[in-house]
Structure 1
Amino acid sequence: MLRLSIGPLKGKALEVNAKNASHILALTQNLASQCGFSVKMDSMGNAMIFASLQNCFVQNSTATASGYSVTTVVFTIPEQRVVKIDQVQRTGYGITNSPTRLVLRSPLNAPETFFQNVAGVPMAVLKTSTILENTLLSTQIDSSVACPTPGSVSFTPNMITWSVPRRIDPLVSSCNFQLKEVFLGVEGMRLSPGEVMARGYSLSLNKMHIILQIPVGAVGGYFKSNVKNGQYLTTYSIEPMLEILWTEDDPPKDTKYKVLFPITTPPIISPLQLVDRIVPEEGVFKVELGTFLQDVELMNITFLDGVLSVAECNDRGFNIEELRFPNGSKSIALTVPFTDRAVLNKMDARNVIYTLHMVFGLAVLPEYSSFTYTAVTEVSVKGIVPAYITGTCDHENFHVTVKSGNQVQNLKIVVGQRLLTPEIAEQYRIVTEGAHIFITVPFYAPDTVFEVIESSSIRSKLHMSLRDPVTMNIQHFSLSCSFLSGLTECFANGTIAAVAAKIESVPSMIPSQLTLKDPACGPAYSDDRIARFLFTGRSCGTTRKFISSVMLYENEISLPSKPVAGNGFQMEEPQYMLKVFCYYMVNATRSAAFLTNPRNNDPHVLTTRSQLRVIMRLAEDISYNLFQEMEEFPLVMNLREPLYFEVEVEVPMNSDPRVVLKLEYCWATLKEDRKSQPRWNLIINGCENTEDPFQVVFHPVSADARVQYPSHFKRFEVQMFSFMDEDNPSYLVYVHCDVVICDATFPSDGLCSEQCANKNTKGQRHAFSEGDSSEHVTSGPILMFK
């Protein structure tokens, strides 16, 4: 017998070569029984294959050397039935012979198998007479086989008992029977008496039976999780082996009988328990759910505010970990802060009762059978609990949650600069659930302020405060988010619509006083926060120019300039300026706008998308010949190991030498969000970060078989670095770049005029000409180890 262990199949089928590599068959259950194979799985889906050395696919040159070949098989069921060899093989039997051996295999459910009660034990029996012939002679070999059935096994909660007849009558041909030896094994491997004793097995004989007893959970078997009707169950499986040797004196002969018999206990209900380990002074729920076998995995947890995966729970500030025990079981430990929005609380004058509802979503591997466990836990905490605010944003709203502590009757909420009275509350969506107040505020609401206006988004800020008239405590809360918003719309007939909004840094601005380049062109509509303009490409001072195949219309919205005192006719720089652009192309209209920073006149770069596409790659080495594929991320790198980046602007047909790619800013973050913190600057205004002890190294780009126009490429080298966090040995790092696409035929300042913009500007950011555009690219994640 040959035994082979392999890893999890994960739904893949086993295959065997049918005597030559060109013929491959799936190893089905029928083929396995016919050809001498058996396949077993452990609790984690790992496969173990047993193959007889006389299996169907073994090259056997001695069978024909004997001169005999099998022609006919006679089955006794108990009446006789004569079957030719080709029909025997077609019906699922396996049969072969050699000069010294005849091998016949049959599935237990074959129609020629019958059942016989032997010493009170039900057994499956097959009796055959096989006729072999050569050119001169024929011979007949009678054979019988008897296999135990599930009826030979009994179970108690702690013990498995397997009974095999001491004298197996279907295999005995004389009255002079003598049992000589009995050996015990597991999974085809014979055990010594010491091993049998050490495992707690018991092998005994009486007048009628050989009796094997195995404790449930003993070494040699394994437990497996199961799910039935949504309930968690466990079974224990083991495959004992018996080798029996007896002799018969009429005529004298020895018979060796071996049987491998897989046994699985009936499913046992395994109740789960949730254990509270809460320490109220720590302000968190601590619970443990268990115990499970190792093949159970936590998939998600449902709280009152939604379903969270394990990763999402940890990201939210919860803590989930597996606790493993010496007996092979495990439990799941969960920590949730009292302050999380999933926690309910109710209060009286002296106590706060925190309640946490949970539904654990679990699965049994490898088949992913799912089941759930529902639990509720609560804790009472003495003392005054202060109120607090948390908040998030979606694509157009601020969502604020106010937890009022146990002083809800005195709490006052201020939104912006206004007390949240019932009249003002009608302007927003407000839901109260116990001590929680959920407030939804649109980003353009009158109680919000605009911080920055860009081409496709507005960064809006909401300020709130909680005031307790009794304790005089005030808690402040501010939340800033960027919201997608089209401020400029370009119509095919040449009409342009633009919106300007009052921003926080210019509090004295009156929107109705804004004008276009032509001071006579004021807003079509205005209020105390916004001004809307409607004009055409031929009015209000709008200018136009041609850039390649694109016509660019430009205007600007600003406050009228005033003379500077004592400087003759010199005008002061406008406090507010919003540039408006419209790009008219074939069958397409593009628009963009940017607002200067009112405090230092530091303009935002124009953002467009056009037909150019910028991509960033990570090369395998400094040759820049081979690049990492998407499926290879996250890459695993060590600290100080170099990374080789290449940024390319893809030009249609790759045929425009006027396009020049410039790197403006490059930086690294721990999250894919390019605006996340912490942030490490790599390239600033096209130059290496001088404050970095391991500065970026720029590499030249030369034309070759892949690079037709070097101006379309930029290459730089970065050494892997560490965000200083001693608690984490590894990090996922993302690298981002803002790039500027220049037109070489138009002179301009800033990045488009020089390789490194801050060499002469001392770190200040330059304005860019209308022929430039800014794009954003990201590479990663890169898994960095210290």
Structure 2
Amino acid sequence: MARNLGIGLLLMITVVSIQVQSKRSPNIDSVCLGNMLRLSIGPLKGKALEVDAKNASHILALTPNLASKCGFSVKMDSMGNAMVFASLQNCFVQNSDDETFTTVTYLRLKGNNITNDETYAVEKTCTYTPWAFREILCDRNYMEVSVRRTVLDNPLPEQSNAKSYTNLGRFRRAANRKTATASGYSVTTVVFTIPEQRVMKIDQVQRTGYGITNTPTRLVLRSPLNAPEMFFQNVAGVPMAVLKTSTILENTLLSTQIDSSVACPTPGSVSFTPNMITWSVPRRIDPLVSSCNFQLKEVFLGVEGMRLSPGEVMARRYSLSLNKMHIILQIPVGAVGGYFKSHVKNGQYLTTYSIEPMLEILWTEDDPPKDTRYKVLFPITTPFIISPLQLVDRIVPEEGVFKVELGTFLQDVELINITFLDGVLSVAECNDRGFNIEELSFPNGSKSIALTVPFTDRAVLNKMDARNVIYTLHMVFGLVVLPEYSSFTYTAVTEVSVKGIVPAYITGTCDHENFHVTVKSGNQVQNLRIVVGQRLLTPEIAEQYRIVTEGAHIFITVPFYAPDTVFEVIESSSIRSKLHVSLRDPVTMNIQHFSLSCSFLSALTECFANGTIAAVAAKIESVPSMIPSQLTLKDSACGPAYSDDRIARFLFTGRSCGTTRQFISSVMLYENEISLPSKPVAANGVQMEEPQYMLKVFCYYMVNATHSAAFLTNPRNNDPHVHTTRSQLQVIMRLAQDISYNLFQEMEEFPLVMNLREPLYFEVEVEVPMNSDPRVVLKLEYCWATLKEDRKSQPRWNLIINGCENTEDPFQVVFHPVSADARVQYPSHFKRFEVQMFSFMDEDNPSYLVYVHCDVVICDDKFPSDGLCSEQCVNKKTKGQRRAFSEGDSTEHVTSGPILMFK
């Protein structure tokens, strides 16, 4: 019989006594999905779902901790449907020879009244025989590895193995292996590497929250996603959660160690655009692959645990592709298989789109021969999507009622009440008073709310003019998002003139990138002419915009940057744009004007890490004669890289085109301006100055790793040399991503997360103006690490002393040569060195921040000294002595970090 190592702990949980109803709900479904089981139930109709699981003799409530330990997860959607996923090797399964698996669960629906509670028993048996050598399962709250158990043909005495768990895997690696039976073998120890070694006995492993099972042929280890022994690692640029473990199995004669490591993607592996979700997974997951003979055999795509055929993938407009480094999945926002959910933030109505794709990969390794099946269920939710609401006026004056429609919403939005000028009315009270409220549903799953109010109701204001009665209705719609009951409001005013002429009129609103204009033609004008901007809205121009006609209403959508708009104000992060619309009566030639002005977020300046700055300027209404191509930066010789009749684009650097620099605390500010010199214009025969155009351009950079020095002229001759003032030279320390020194860590990526024994590749550069002087020589004098940003803080680990590696450090610094290439013109301007993270180990802390500092010397090869400037490493005999500087030397200090280290 298999020994379930998790049962001892499970029995300590309070047993829940329940009554099982005999009638099974028709909306419950169960399906076997390879090495998983999925149960579906819904809709829940507002009731809370609780899940219990049954082992041989007890029924236990699945708390969040127990669910992650035992291989269960629960998913809810916005429509009140739920799914329960269970690993076939969960703690409660009845396992028959690792071939058939029976799981018994109880689904309890709890309402506000205990008499309304419902409980449904679900028993499902799944058969799964094509077990891979190793199977890895990543779910929303746990990750699981299942490995076929093997032992050595030639057993080793137990006492020999007890000396060092670290060495267990080294015995008899060339020996043939065979499958072990469960009888006589037990799991005794788990060795964690995080990245240093941590050994736990089996009872401690269970207390820590891990689930571990010894089945007839396999070893199963399950970890919650917040396990303390877990660490994070970038694999091919994708952040992954990694648990490096080895499990020890023993009997009286034999001990063996099984690699039970597991790694799963993190949310950082997903990127979003307004219309597309992109999920990247490494093609080769290095923490799980030990062989060079790696071969990817199969890749399957699915949703909610179920595989999709190629035809289904194409029909849903998903895209699955592979390159040398990654498996890439792209899903359009709103695609079949996901769902939208409503939210409220700062009183604004927002939505998100969620989907749970599944990626199933099979790979093989030839040394030793083994295959791995890797399955990931990965819930994805987009950032908030702005969903502006609109009130559509469908008034028919002859009927004597206001007819309005508010929308659109998702199905999880409910109307609670409407506030009129005379009070607040619930939906039921509105209907009792003679109003009519109804929901209108649309094929895409959205809905709107239609409201009818008679002109004669006391909530309606009216006033008379010479020929008409004008009716006005003020409304505040009170709405909530379910099931959270998050509330928000929408305020609207609608007006109609009757009894005689019903005039044409225009209204409008804005969202984050468009003008929305509504034109009502009235009942007295035929063939009304609409002018947008300065152009008559002909059929040809109408094709450029989105126009919908419904009865007497014309709805026009115009982007804020369209040619018929004008820009009023240009700022660094927004544009205020104006749209002018006119109505012309072709008979009377009466004209009605309407203007709508809104501010739109738009990034006009982009600051790049290499000091390049891109900026956009646009023609504004107050300077009508402006020609964008004539705009310049402070340096009038710097014109636009591109221009047309409305915009000009500039591209320059922090050291060109008159750009100025100043320091504000720890920030370096680069500033320039785009301007058009003023010129006189004639108005009514009088010479006047046209308003001057000027747009400020700002870029901010952190300066904690950048300091300066200067080139000045030696008064004794005309040769340039290094002087010790700070002006034009900059000394910069960077962290390379690998030993190639081609790619470097970006500033926003700090603090970097590193593991013990991982190497750090530092590059120090002195930036010479125009990169044109090969006589400048950069040398490293002292480099050290601290736990604080203060370079003088203690403790301190010396890395480089007098230009040499610290010989007392067991993991010494390695200097790397610098050769000229496309990026490096003069190798003398650079120094590169590698540091092992082990050098920074602190026994008292599992994780801590590390800062690396360097004192560097900038030399002029016209004035070589006997020390650092003549060679990298000073003679060992001078170690510990402060060397003398030559006349052409300058000392600078640079710091890199913080780096977050995990053992």
TM-score, normalisation: structure 1:
0.48
- Other-structure match for 2:333: 216
Deviation of 1:25 (Å): 3.8
| Counterpart contact for 2:706–2:733, Cα < 8 Å | no
- Larger relative contact order (C-alpha < 8 A, sep ≥ 6)? 2
In structure 2, distance between residues paired with 1:697 and 1:77 = 25
Q: Secondary structure of 2:682's partner?
A: coil
Counterpart CA distance in 1 for 2:233 and 2:792 is 77
Q: Secondary structure at the match of 1:721?
A: helix
Structure 1 residues 768 and 106: CA distance shift in structure 2, 3 A: closer
CA distance in 2, matches of 1:689, 1:469: 91
User: Structure 1's 59 and 347: CA in aligned 2 closer, same or farther, altered over 3 A?
Assistant: same
Alpha carbons 1:188, 1:241 under 8 Å: kept:
yes
Instruction: Mark the CA change 1:169 to 1:330 in structure 2 (over 3 Å): closer, same or farther.
Output: same
Gaps of 5+ in 1: none
Which stretch of structure 1 is more off in the superposition, 377-386 or 47-56? 377-386
- Alignment-derived partner of residue 862 in structure 2: 745
Instruction: Summarize the Cα distance change of 1:685–1:153 in structure 2 as closer, same or farther, 3 Å threshold.
Output: closer
- Cα distance change of structure 1 residues 4 and 741 upon mapping to structure 2, 3 Å threshold: farther
Any idea what SS the aligned residue of 1:424 has? helix
For 1:79 and 1:619, locate their aligned partners in 2 and report how far apart those are by CA, in whole Å. Answer: 24
- Mark the CA change 1:234 to 1:140 in structure 2 (over 3 Å): closer, same or farther: same
Aligned to 1:521, the other structure's residue is in SS state coil
CA shift in 2, pair 1:340/1:751, >3 Å: farther
Segment drifting more, 146-155 vs 636-645: 636-645
Counterpart among 79, 87, 92 of residue 44 in structure 1: 79
Higher mean C-alpha deviation, range 272-281 or range 347-356? 347-356
CA contact (8 A) 2:304 2:377 kept: yes
Q: CA separation of 1:477/1:683 partners in 2, compared to 1, >3 Å: closer, same or farther?
A: farther
Equivalent pairs, count:
786
Deviation at 1:568, TM superposition (A): 117
Residues 279-299 of structure 1 deviation map (CA, whole Å, 9 limit, x = unaligned)? 111100000000011111111
Q: Secondary structure at the match of 2:181?
A: helix
Query: SS of the residue aligned with 1:313?
Result: helix
SS of aligned partner of 1:314:
helix
Partners of 1:605 and 1:767 within 8 A in 2: no
Per-residue CA distance 1:230-251 (angstroms, 9 max, x = gap)? 1111000011111111111212
8 A contact 1:64–1:98 mirrored in 2: no
Residue range with higher mean Cα deviation, 23-32 or 108-117: 23-32
Structure 1 stretch displaced more, 203-212 or 643-652: 643-652
For 1:248 and 1:497, the matched residues in 2 are separated by 48
Which residue of 1 is the match for residue 795 of structure 2? 678
Mean CA deviation greater in 671-680 or 239-248: 671-680
Change in Cα spacing, 1:684 to 1:552, as seen in structure 2 (3 Å) is farther
1:367 Cα offset (Å): 1.8
Counterpart CA distance in 1 for 2:603 and 2:323 is 91
Alpha carbons of 1:112 and 1:352: their partners in 2 closer, same or farther (altered >3 Å)? same
Change in 2 beyond 3 A, CA 1:287/1:574? closer
Distance 1:684 1:24, change over 3 A: farther
Contact conserved, 2:707 with 2:730, CA < 8 A, in 1? no
For residues 489 and 52 of structure 2, the distance between their equivalents in structure 1, rounded to whole angstroms, comes to 44
Native 8 Å contact 2:54 2:60 kept in 1: no
Does the aligned pair in 2 maintain the 1:349–1:406 contact within 8 Å? Answer: no
**1:59 Cα offset (Å):** 3.4
Query: Kindly tell me: are residues 219 and 692 of structure 1, through their superposed partners in 2, closer, same or farther at Cα, counting changes over 3 Å?
Result: same
Deviates more, 1:111-120 or 1:488-497: 488-497
Q: For the Cα contact (< 8 Å) 1:165–1:210, is it kept in 2?
A: yes
C-alpha spacing 1:205/1:726, structure 2 compared with 1 (3 Å): closer
> Deviation of residue 323 (structure 1)?
0.8
Q: CA deviation at 1:102?
A: 1.2
User: 1:583 Cα deviation (Å)?
Assistant: 92
Residue 466 of structure 2, aligned match among 349, 352, 355:
349
Give the C-alpha shift of residue 119 in structure 1.
0.6
**1:348 Cα deviation after fit:** 1.8
> Following TM superposition, by how much is the alpha carbon of 1:778 offset from its aligned partner in structure 2, in angstroms?
86
CA distance, structure 2, for counterparts of residue 139 and residue 315 of structure 1:
78
Q: Could you tell me how far 1:175 is from its partner in structure 2?
A: 0.9
Q: What's the CA shift for 1:180?
A: 1.5
SS of equivalent to 1:545: strand
Deviation digits for residues 261-320 of structure 1 (CA, Å, limit 9, x no counterpart)? 110000111000000000111100000000011111111111111111111111111111
* CA–CA separation in structure 2 for the residues paired with 1:240 and 1:761: 63
Contact kept, 8 Å, 2:525 with 2:585, in 1: the verdict is: no
More displaced, 242-251 or 598-607? 598-607
Distance in structure 2 (CA, Å) of the matches to 1:570 and 1:544: 38
Structure 1 residue 498: deviation in Å?
A: 91
Q: Deviations over 1:60-95 (max 9, x none)?
A: 479995332222111110111011111111111111
Residue pair 1:17, 1:23 contacting (<8 A) in 2 also: no
Q: 1:370 to 1:696 in 2, by over 3 A?
A: farther
Question: How far 1:146 sits from its partner (Å)?
Answer: 1.0
Distance 1:535 1:264 in 2: 38
Aligned partners of 1:493 and 1:47: how far apart in 2? 49
The structure having more radius of gyration, on CA atoms, is 1
Structure 1 window deviating more from structure 2 (562-571 vs 142-151): it is 562-571
Corresponding position: 1:309 with 2:344: no
**Structure 1 stretch 711-720 or stretch 155-164: which is displaced more?**
711-720
Partner deviation per Cα, 1:550-598 (whole Å, 9 max, x = no partner) = 9999999999999999999999999999999999999999999999999
Change (3 A) 1:652 1:105: closer
Counterparts in 2 of 1:686 and 1:315: CA distance versus 1, 3 Å: farther
Deviations 1:372-428 (A, max 9, x none): 111111111125999999999999999999999999999999999999999999999
Q: Secondary structure at the match of 1:195?
A: helix
Q: Which moved more, 1:407-416 or 1:376-385?
A: 407-416
Report the secondary structure of 1:780's partner residue. strand
Distance in 2 (alpha carbons) for counterparts of 1:169 and 1:489 = 36
- 2:704–2:895 contact (8 Å) kept in structure 1: no
Give the Cα–Cα distance (whole angstroms) in 2 for the partners of residues 455 and 339 of structure 1.
51
The two structures have a TM-score, normalised by structure 2, of 0.42
Q: Quote the offset at 1:37 in angstroms.
A: 0.6
Shift of 1:35: 0.7
CA contact (8 A) 2:709 2:728 kept: no
Contact 1:662 1:686 in 2 (8 A): yes
Contact 2:195 2:756 (8 Å CA) reproduced: no
CA shift at 1:736, angstroms?
A: 91
Tell me what 2:4 maps to.
Answer: none
CA distance in 1, matches of 2:533, 2:323: 91
- SS of 1:170 mapped into structure 2: helix
- TM-aligned CA deviation for residue 138 of structure 1: 2.6
8 Å Cα contact 1:731-1:783 kept in structure 2: yes
Q: CA distance change for structure 1 residues 212 and 315 in 2, over 3 Å: closer, same or farther? A: same
Deviates more, 1:375-384 or 1:715-724: 715-724
Moved more, 103-112 or 1-10: 1-10
Instruction: Using the TM superposition, name which of 67-76 and 32-41 deviates more.
Output: 67-76
**Could you say if the C-alpha distance between residues 178 and 479 of structure 1 is closer, same or farther in structure 2, counting changes exceeding 3 Å?**
closer
Point out the more displaced range, 142-151 or 672-681: 672-681
Contact 1:14 1:27 in 2 (8 A): no
Instruction: State the distance in 2 between where 1:766 and 1:515 align.
Output: 51
Work out whether residues 674 and 695 of structure 2, in 8 Å CA contact, stay in contact via their aligned partners in 1.
yes
> How far apart, in 1, do the equivalents of 2:758 and 2:294 lie?
77
Tell me if the contact between 1:221 and 1:237 (Cα under 8 Å) persists in the aligned partners. yes
| Deviation of 1:19 (Å) | 3.8
Unpaired segments of 5 or more residues in structure 2? 1-35, 97-178
Task: Report the Cα offset of residue 541 of structure 1.
Answer: 115
Does the C-alpha gap of structure 1 residues 211 and 135 become closer, same or farther in structure 2, counting only changes over 3 Å?
same
Deviations 1:343-362 (A, max 9, x none): 11111232111111111111
CA contact (8 A) 1:351 1:380 kept: yes
Does the 8 Å CA contact 1:453/1:594 hold for their aligned counterparts?
no
Structure 1 window deviating more from structure 2 (766-775 vs 229-238): it is: 766-775
Question: Residue 491 of structure 2 aligns with which residue?
Answer: 374
Change in Cα spacing, 1:697 to 1:430, as seen in structure 2 (3 Å) is farther
Change (3 A) 1:3 1:700: same
Distance 1:27 1:549 in 2: 51
Distance (Å, rounded) in 2 between the aligned partners of 1:520 and 1:251: 67
**Distance in 2 of aligned mates of 1:539 and 1:125:** 46
> After the TM superposition, which of the residue ranges 96-105 and 213-222 deviates more from structure 2?
96-105
Residue range with higher mean Cα deviation, 554-563 or 186-195: 554-563
The worse-fitting range, judged by mean Cα deviation, of 735-744 and 255-264 is: 735-744
Range that drifts further, 527-536 or 240-249 = 527-536
Conserved 8 A contact 1:455-1:606: no
Tell me, yes or no, if the aligned pair for 2:189 and 2:249 is still in contact at 8 Å: yes
